[in-house]
Structure 1
Amino acid sequence: MAGKTVYFIAMFLALSSCLSARLAYGQITDPREVSALLAVRRKLNDPWNNLKNWDKKTDPCASNWTGVICYPDLNITDGYKHVKELRLLQFNLSGVLAPELGQLVNIQRLDFMWNSISGSIPKEIGKITALVHLLLSGNQLSGPLPDELGNLSNLNKFQLDLNQLSGSIPKSFAKLPKVQHFHMNNNSFSGQLPPELSTLPLLKHFLLDNNKLSGYLPPEFSQMPNLTILQLNNNNFEGNVIPDSYGNMSKLVKLSLRNCNLQGKVPDLSGIRSLLFLDLSRNQLTGNIPVNRLSDNITTINLSRNKLNGSIPSNFSGLPRLQKLRLNNNSLSGSVPSTIWKNRTLTSDEKLEINFQDNLLSDIAGILDVPPNVTLMIHGNPVCQNASQRNISLLCGSVNGDEETPIILNKPVLTCPSSTCPTYYEYIPGLPADKCFCAAPFGVGLRLRSPSISDFPPYRDQFDKFITGYIKLYPYQLYIDSLAWEEGPRLRMFLKFFPQFTNDSHTFNNSEIQRIADIFATFAIPGSDTFGPYDLLNFTANGPYLYVPLPSLKGNGISKGALAGIVLGSIFCASVVLLGVVVLFLKKHQRLPPNAVKDKYFRKVSIVMDGVKAFSFEELQSATSRFDIATQVGEGGYGKVYKGTLSDGTVVAIKRAQQGSLQGDKEFYTEIEMLSRVHHRNLVSLVGYCDEEDEQMLVYEFMPNGSLHDLISARYRSPLNFATRLHIALGSARGILYLHTEADPPIIHRDIKANNILLDSKWTAKVSDFGISRLAPVADVKGVTETHISTNVKGTPGYLDPEYFWTHKLTEKSDVYSLGVVFLELLTGMQPISHGRNLVREVNMACQSGTMFSIIDDSMGQYPSECIKEFMALAIRCSQDETKDRPSMLEVVRELENISSVLPKFDSTALELNLDALTSESSASASASASASASASAPSSSVYSKTHTYMSNNLPGSNLVSGVFATIKPR
């Protein structure tokens, strides 16, 4: 009782003294702006409680309300401070934007990016004539754009992309004299582009791709004196033409009009000497390709999937920066000019992709000598009819050249001490080997929203110097941790900034962290011609930076008189509050078990992850109709999996753990940590988590087609032909290759199995369940990496690496073994262990006895026997008992790609047809995107008659694979 009395007295005195301090310095912020901020707060839902200090009993500028940034000095005319910026990006806010925002008449930047705010954009924002940046990307805003926004006379950046906005682009926007950036892609804007916008004197970036625009392309746009990017992909301009006047855009760097239903000819753009990127693909363009030479600086030319004819002009030769030339799927004839690649000198980082597939090309002019860094694709042309005789079989293999090439960055080889850095600290990768230094990085997520390149590695050094030059850091202080091309194409990246090692400080101080954050958040780094404008996605401040007050800034200084009042009132306030906190801590600490404080801190630190959303129990309960049994799609030892629909309509899979099933918190947080920092199209995406009271739930992207285990074990479902199985195998291998080679540090999955390979709506394989994954070892002082991790054995019987099982030495080759077993399942339809039989042993016995084809899954139908042999040989190599006899994941991916490349031309649609057939029945068997085995769905009618079958006697290039099966090493 005495303890409680002391505690309540302390809290009462603290509140009283704080109120006294408040009265001592009086009102600091303009009362009208305080009222507006409170109205904004009332309209927003804040489940993460980020805005808890927006309290009417405190002052926004004096108390540093979260995300509220004020001008540094008092206004000399009215004596009040004014709000300069609202920076509320990625706060998980929902609700609507309050009309009272219009009362913040002095604000320069409104930033609500990457939240879930809905409703319309208030017309009252048009009253904020001081506004420079309107940043609303990545929300759920809807409705038309208010005409009043055309009154924003100081607006520089209009960033409204990735919303649900509709209606036409207001003609009033032509009255924006200072606007430079229209970023409105991925909405539902419709109607005619206003020709009046051509009067905008400073507009540089016009991004309206992925909308519903129609009408014609205004010829007047060529009059914009500073336009550098015109990107209108995926609209419908109703068969209109590209105006010839666009050839007069002297400063244009990027012209991207892909899939816009355009007709007519390709305009002559040779006069645009600044042009770096040209994409006019997927239209109805006709006629010849212009013969005038394009800019020597051009990196990308994509005219594919049109109706172009004539020959390939010589103006594509000798372009020194060319990275990608796509003319596939046209009616081009004549010869392939070898001068395109012969006159290029490529460094080790540079690549050149040339795609001439599916034309009428009959010959290759000049000597055929394709350098290693050049990819030439000529499948589907008459020149390939005698491919084997002309020794061009590899060039004639069918390749999907429309996909973006994944990026593989060379990781620095560290020769630092074998002892690893403390948690949240890393060796600075950019330092020489003799200057090893552990430091804590500060992370920044960026996305280049319209780069003018197609391959990043050759420009990595240039990018490093470009970014660090504006931030005033040394290039070694920046490390690009990961890169991924996204639809657009846009380039997502995660940057790590390290403190200077010469200062002998292993961390940035708070002011430096806030300075770097401010530069990115205020878009102080201008877009370059090469890299284009960027999106700020997030900040990652872990470990020593966990409690830095991002994204708010310091520097909200107040007058000396007000400061004196605050100090006098606050000293006593702080003392009494400290007393109360100490009393409270001592009382709670007496009740906690020994590890409770440590576990609580570990939980809080672990949960602050890039792009991971915290859900409340109520949200997930609502998403699953209170976890109704009708929404359950799977169950395992950890608990149950439910299909849920979030409030924004997103369909997800929710893995709800039974109490105690995740071995405390370790596997739960391991899953969150691993998936929050790896991003690849063949890895399942983690949407978020719930960690409340006794509930632990993980929320994943929903996988409509369940797991590979379900697919190959449910015999009443549609059979899988060979191409589909190979497609799934290759996707799985690419996902694991990313973990082994591109994740930093590399990751060993440790539980690869058919249940953990999930299939999305397009039957793309995605690796899941990282609960027992481990980070791979780091390099020692001599640059030598430990060969293994010593750890307790975990995994699934039948998939476990025998060497790991006996020695407890875990390596990346342990994942290779498990994947080899998955390959054997794909080939045979058999389970790893069934009725006392081991699949690996059964397959080896069949191969040694010459009866391999007797164990191939009957439901596969007819198949190319040589490709089956190749695939089986690879599967057996992967599942060898000894680690040294297994291939690396890079070798596995390459061999699967080679097998895929020799599939028959007449079977190029086999995969598509088989997947279409499977998709027609997937609704009856939707499953979870978690590693549980979903309950079996009802039998469905066979669609096997729709699938395309293989005829092995028509397999071309059999000389390439003959004798391969003989290389299988018997046990």
Structure 2
Amino acid sequence: MNNNSITGQIPLEYSSLSDVLHFLMDNNKLTGYLPRELSQMPSLKILQLDNNNFAGTEIPSSYGNIPNLVKLSLRNCNLEGPVPDLSKSPLLYYLDISSNKLTGEIPKNRFSGNITTINLHNNMLNGSIPSNFSGLPRLQRLSLQNNNLSGEIPVIWEKRNFSAEAKLILDLRHNLFSNVSSVLNPPSNVTVKLYGNPVCARGNERNIADLCGVSTVEVESPGSSSENSTTGECKRQSCPISENYDYVIGSPVPCFCAAPLGIGLRLRSPSFSDFRPYTVSYMLDVASNLGINMYQLSIDSFSWHSGPRLAINMKLFPEYSDLNSKFNTTELHRIVDFFATFSLVTDDSLGPYEIMYFSLLGPYRDVTLSFPSSNSGMSKGAKVGIALGAIAFFIALSSVSLVLIIKRRKQKRKFQKVDMEQREANPKPPMNMESVKGYNLAELESATSSFSDLSQIGRGGYGKVYRGHLAGGLIVAVKRAEQGSLQGQKEFYTEIELLSRLHHRNLVSLLGYCDQKGEQMLVYEFMPNGSLQDALSARLREPLSLALRLRIALGSARGILYLHTEADPPIIHRDIKPSNILLDKKMNPKVADFGISKLIALDDVGVQRDHVTTLVKGTPGYVDPEYYLSHRLTEKSDVYSLGIVFLEILTGMRPISHGRNIVREVKEACEAGMMLSVIDGSMGEYSESEWEECVKRFMELAIRCCRDDPEERPRMLEIVRELENLYGMLPKPYSSPSVQSSASGMSGFAASASASSYNTFSHLSSNQLVSGVIPSIAPR
């Protein structure tokens, strides 16, 4: 509701709007007071009330307790009183309470590690700058000018590792600083402004003079995502810009010329001051949301508008094809509808957006949903004759088509009937698979209460999963293929034969199958403790201890190592994530769901290839960026996905939450020396130095697995060895305070977890260990 002429008090009733994310009423004529009740809105992320007149009002202290608050902007509202304590807003990116009448000192409580912008200028603040402003890993702008601040200035950038595009502006103009020796030599990424302070009166010192010049704070200049990119030796005349064609930078084939769709967006309330560090992650978010390749997207330009708002002009290119260099109409409308219906979900720091334009130029200029009217001067009789002729032709064509369709359907039904009869008469597979059992449909219907909703325990890309009770008392998980997932009989049995050869204690075992009456089902052992995802979210359970998390990580890595090195042929899983790591009754992990796995094929001379070229499949957030860009699937692609799982095990965070990327979050925290701030507190607090060292090394391993360059990631064998060493580091005997025996009876979770929160390796067989650090017993 911003940019209107709304008057009066903000109604208290707004606080009952439980689903509101962004509350924007800036640039109105509001008066009265700021309702403390607004802090009770459970989903609130952005509160923006700039340029109103709440004369004599203080900022309610409850605004510092909004759990999901990302941005608080109360600029130029005639507010009084102190700066609120915002240390209990752990997600805060942006604070602007400038141009008010705030008094007192700046609170010494620590800001969120996400904070990019702190604007407190044009107030009446005194005291010194808190030392906790140093080490904020994302800080881009600290504006404190036109106050009464004094004392020593902390080295705000002291603990920062700046990337090439990162900048920090520290504006301290017109305060009372006289001793600034700590900030006289800022690095090139940092701009310090001291004009109007007493120290500038002795401007004969060169360094001080450099910082005391009269200037304003820079606003980020317009830019693009491809300022330094070139098209190499591509010939300009081969790609006519005048017809809205351009070379696609980064396409799989050089000099691919295509027609882009232009889209203009404007971020209405961005929570940063400098967009450049966010451009790549923003492009990744857009590409992931749309389901396109990264090379198909470029940010043509971006610029700041008043507000501040950020205008982004982007181009979307069609996927590379030998046959076509433009979007077809269906894909064009899909993309337009996606943006026009505000389906784009990105990082919370970007806030809401508005559409500025869609650019339908060149080959798209005639795209329309309506038919053009005729302007010809043809006579009425001629039009009637043409119409009757067209109708007669259409009827004749339809009759011929109808006969062919009926004939084809009869033939298809005949073949289906024969195929069904063959399957019923001979349900045996066309190959020897002694380790799995062929179930008939009646058995599995009885086991799952006719596939009732009450028996359903999950759903994946293959189809629904049901819990089944077989006649002998065996509990199984039945995966029932949906119509779109059905394979040919040969392909189905080939997959079963492959899965039947996989035998490892950390892989879910295939017990049987069913291929009758148009149904295809796989029968697996049942995992009573659900998935790692369930355990991490602590649904109706006690949280996982560090020892149990390490044991789950180690078992999962062993299962993947088996797929890579001992399966015949070797397998790349391609969809490693917590929901595909299941837990048995003793909380042992078992990797599941090989529905999109890829065999590592041999080349023409029988040598195993180091990669597979394939279409990108997997779950967003877990897909290897290199695989996403190049379509080259390698064992290191699984390493990346497993690294994301390790970060989830350590932090409890999701890989992508409202666009926030777990890898970026963790790396920045570690670089700022704040690793423990992102560790999942539910695993308990420990004083032992071994615990801290173990967590640190586990985190380092996870980050190495998630490196962008696959060559820099460890091999799966190295991962297993390191996890074995870490597990052996834990204090002995280990007793986790976070996992207690419980009467809840959650499938034996609590009892088994507490009983085995620390286990020696004496019960493990030699083929489960790889490093030789742990003594081996008898082989399995």
Return the TM-score normalized by structure 2. Answer: 0.46
Return the TM-score normalized by structure 1. Answer: 0.38
